[in-house]
Structure 1
């Protein structure tokens, strides 16, 4: 394979063996001089397959352009249909943080349940590439149904925080225990909303120049919607909503994507990269074509005044095995963080 020398948002991204990269809903962690990009492996998640995920896949790179497949660091459990890791289970959004005190890599997974509630599974490993062992399974942190989330470690004191969507309700910021495998019980609440599509989900945290930033999306499933940036001087807020970061995005779809995390380049002064998934790459008849259509349909399903059953799926399946990635660098103006569309860009263009 020819070496890539740039990032091309929204285009099919192949690994060094020429295969489509599958690291969705995840993030990048730097170990030594190597970047590790991990996420949901959707290679087998075609409509009708009964496969939601096929484990957590990880790739390694030195330059953020060329990625070597390191395989399934958390393989699916093919034997036990009741396992949280069975391919039929709705495993989403792996996030991994390193605990410098226990010398463990800690991974949290969100697992949607058939009744639309959501639970969490926690795994640990001695190496970023595993093997990972489940230490907590099927938990409801703080007794809550915990949806999309981000994990954050304070670089100074090593304290860790868990930002999650309390399903269809509000955003929670919770302190993690010293071993990062559970919550302490201390938490704060933010951005309360009555129901989807207004509820904020998919939180992505980053810290810059004394401010904690939180980028979130609305709640319209795999169909993209407008992002929102908020900031605070403290992990626990209060957060000031600054607005939609996507510049000139007439479609109201965050350039057809959903941000899953923000990666601060460790060797650049001010390069923060929004990592996003483009889940829908082809229109399926019967599904919404615009954000406005998707938002109206989610409002019909979840608005109690409209009386529809939220457990009924009113959408045709999306082929996530063809999902792509949209990576864009933030541009800052005062407090506000903006994302401008770029067909192609290079890390080398930043100090």
Structure 2
């Protein structure tokens, strides 16, 4: 615990170190918010022990609780690491990434998907629980959805009929939108493909879905590992598309690095009118504000004719990664994200003003 026993916040300060109510750095990376009866749960990758060279990718899935989105109480690990089994998808060295949890109203269970990286193969594992806070048990382990290497993803649930979808990066080629089975623990086999692009850094990853006004939106990033690149937003009238690209969601960022962030998810505030919050990870907080060459460096890594294709980028210490939460504005229906050093929820109108 830090010297300050209690830490409180009354505003968002994107890019600054964000401490929980105990004064400790928050670790919920690649994260999402789950709203349950007015209580918010922020969960994601626990990177507290992930330092260069120690072999720890992710130390389980950590969760925090809040009623105001500013101040977060640490609830600990809702999915702890499996330290004893090196083959387990939950082992700290197995490279667990981007947990997403959806509630299945038909089964009354909470379903968590994770991706696990490893060499040339990226696998998926599914866990279920009877409570959001767990315990979670593995029900589908180390598989390739649709026979594909599945990278970054999002889970989407239709708000009225409960139908589930799984949108993921088919590694280094395209995005895939797949229907989930009724219990959300697998894919049915029906899918559509979108945004076919040639290799990193061009391939889209980190899909973050939201809907507004009956339309569907996806925010994605390019593939440059932990280094930032221009985000992109697309829109469709149906889940399976066709999807139309609307361009960089951060058009005023001259560095073309999405304000040095990667959007992990988009949260629609239930009590504010038209407030959508883009949850961004700043994986490399010490990166210079004008750093914008990572797309080219990653392009070289995948160029067989480049004599320096084995270029090694600077090592990243994700144990000190930060966050940048920013509101989304809509210009004639086009989502845009502006930088703000500070902002508050009371800047936005209540859904039901008193």
Q: TM-score, normalised by structure 2?
A: 0.94
- The separation in 1 between residues aligned to 2:289 and 2:225, in whole angstroms, is 14
- The separation in 2 between residues aligned to 1:179 and 1:305, in whole angstroms, is 47
8 Å contact kept, 1:225–1:291? no
User: Helix, strand or coil for the counterpart of 1:46?
Assistant: coil
Deviations 1:308-336 (A, max 9, x none): 77xx6723420000000010000001120
Is 1:118 aligned with 2:116? Answer: no
2:277 alignment partner in structure 1: 273
Choose which of 334, 339, 342 in structure 2 pairs with 1:341.
339
2:57 alignment partner in structure 1: 52
Deviations 1:242-264 (A, max 9, x none): 11111420111100100000001
State how 1:163-242 maps to structure 2 within 5 Å: 163-242=167-246
8 Å contact kept, 1:301–1:307? no
- The separation in 1 between residues aligned to 2:246 and 2:152, in whole angstroms, is 21
- The separation in 2 between residues aligned to 1:293 and 1:341, in whole angstroms, is 21
Choose which of 23, 33, 43 in structure 2 pairs with 1:18.
23
Q: CA RMSD in A?
A: 1.5
- The separation in 2 between residues aligned to 1:76 and 1:160, in whole angstroms, is 27
**1:296 to partner: Cα distance:** 1.7
- The separation in 2 between residues aligned to 1:99 and 1:108, in whole angstroms, is 13
Deviations 1:26-65 (A, max 9, x none): 2001111200000000000011211111000000000000
- The separation in 2 between residues aligned to 1:327 and 1:165, in whole angstroms, is 23
Q: TM-score, normalised by structure 1?
A: 0.95
| Number of aligned positions between the proteins | 344
- The separation in 1 between residues aligned to 2:99 and 2:324, in whole angstroms, is 18
User: Helix, strand or coil for the counterpart of 2:298?
Assistant: helix
1:328 alignment partner in structure 2: 326
**1:282 to partner: Cα distance:** 2.4
Is 1:260 aligned with 2:258? Answer: no
- The separation in 2 between residues aligned to 1:168 and 1:10, in whole angstroms, is 29
**1:97 to partner: Cα distance:** 0.5
Deviations 1:103-122 (A, max 9, x none): 00000001001x23210010
- The separation in 1 between residues aligned to 2:54 and 2:172, in whole angstroms, is 28
- The separation in 2 between residues aligned to 1:224 and 1:175, in whole angstroms, is 30
Deviations 1:79-125 (A, max 9, x none): 11111111111110000000000000000001001x23210010000
1:100 alignment partner in structure 2: 105
Gaps of 5+ in 1: none
- The separation in 1 between residues aligned to 2:59 and 2:70, in whole angstroms, is 24
State how 1:34-183 maps to structure 2 within 5 Å: 34-113=39-118, 115-183=119-187
Is 1:3 aligned with 2:1? Answer: no
